[in-house]
Amino acid sequence: MVFWIIVVVIVVIGLLIWASRKKKTAVESTAVKTHKECSYCNEEIEIDAAVCKYCRGIVVSSS
Mean pLDDT over all residues of the chain? Answer: 83
Residue 1 has pLDDT above 60, yes or no: yes
| Residues 6+ away with beta carbon under 8 Å from 35 | 44, 45, 46, 47
At residue 32 the predicted structure's pLDDT band, cuts being 50, 70 and 90, is confident
pLDDT at position 63 is 47
pLDDT at position 20 is 81
Count of CB atoms situated within 10 Å of the CB of 57:
14
Tell me the per-residue pLDDT of 39-59, one tens digit each, with 9 for 90 and over. Answer: 889 999 998 989 999 999 888
